[in-house]
Structure 1
Amino acid sequence: MGLSAVPDDHVATIVTTLEMTQRPRARALPDAPLRLVRWERPAPESYRALFRRVGAPWLWFSRLVMDDAALVAIVHDPAVEVHAVLDRAGIEVGMLELDFRTGGACEIGYFALVPELAGRGLGRWFMARALALAWRGGVERVWLHTCTLDHPRALGFYRAQGFVAVRRTVETFADPRVLGVLPADVAPQVPLLARTR
């Protein structure tokens, strides 16, 4: 109980796991100037480039530090689906990763749009599309997690879409900016306390 010190070269976050155990009622799909397309067998460098674009502002780094073989083992697995969100010009502006590797469940592993699209109501369109893909035959649970490093409205957004919080944990990890995995100027909302490489 009380405060726990976090080393200057680390970051701490509260992770909330949320789930749905019933398919939500069908509702009208909001219009959006975007489209969601399946990204078959993405090349590691292309996958990481999009992962960095959507995730760097929130200190996403896990897929950036995996070697190619480990990353390919996940994103080329037949039970994992990667989708890219494209704008009207065909530019990738978001990503969705659905993981069906656990029977009866779908984990929304990654769900993000580039920060420039925040606040435009596009997240509701995106989540409606994600849930339509996730809830398929045999799926009894769709789940995801978010953390206090994500967009400040992420937790409220997921709850408004019908997810229920079921677990909370604390995660600490080496600050990817200190490690040189991400630039020192990303995620300015998270104080950088240690020197970067």
Structure 2
Amino acid sequence: MNRAAGLKGQLKAGKVYRREDLTKYSNAVDRHLAELVNEGTLEKVAQGLYYFPKQSVFGAVPPDDDTLVRSFLKDDNFLLTSPNSYNTLRIGTTQLYNKRVVYNRKRHGEVVLNGRKFYFHKTPYFPKKATPEFLLIDLVNHLDDLAEDRKMVLQNALSKAKTMNFNKLKYALREYGHSKTKKIFESTLAEMKPTEHVH
């Protein structure tokens, strides 16, 4: 057990580790990881991914979504969002979705991390931060996935577009809009053109 204790001594609470990152601390990494999981020191959050829980007065603190995704992708280059983010636009979406969407350049498909589902979308095009303009375009891209009255949401989205910064919206549409979304916004942007210089 000493060797596993040696491995444990290298770990920091609150961090997610990949199996391959730990091989340098152990000559029998799989056995030692299994021991640490059995004794409750580590939690296995996915295949080859382990979490060393941070403790609070209420017990173990689960890893945040960002930490899980960063460790899984071995990369900082992603945008983590959720259909719940659309609610900040105030255009009639009120549903709460238990869905996390990860725009990234490496992986595609559904992955379960620490018992939570993440939908990885492989795409070269996503911003560093989910701006209101990006969220509006993203919402219309995925209008068919929404549980609300889509016609009402789309009408509200087009009205909302007219209150936004023309240049930022045009950029978001060009960079992130699906071809169907670009068509939908065509006439709205044409109407907005006169206010192009207004900020």
TM-score by length of 1: 0.29
Structure with the greater relative contact order (CA < 8 A, sep ≥ 6): 1 or 2? Answer: 1
Identify, as 1 or 2, the structure richer in strand.
1
TM-score by length of 2: 0.28
Identify, as 1 or 2, the structure richer in helix.
2
Q: Which has the larger radius of gyration?
A: 2
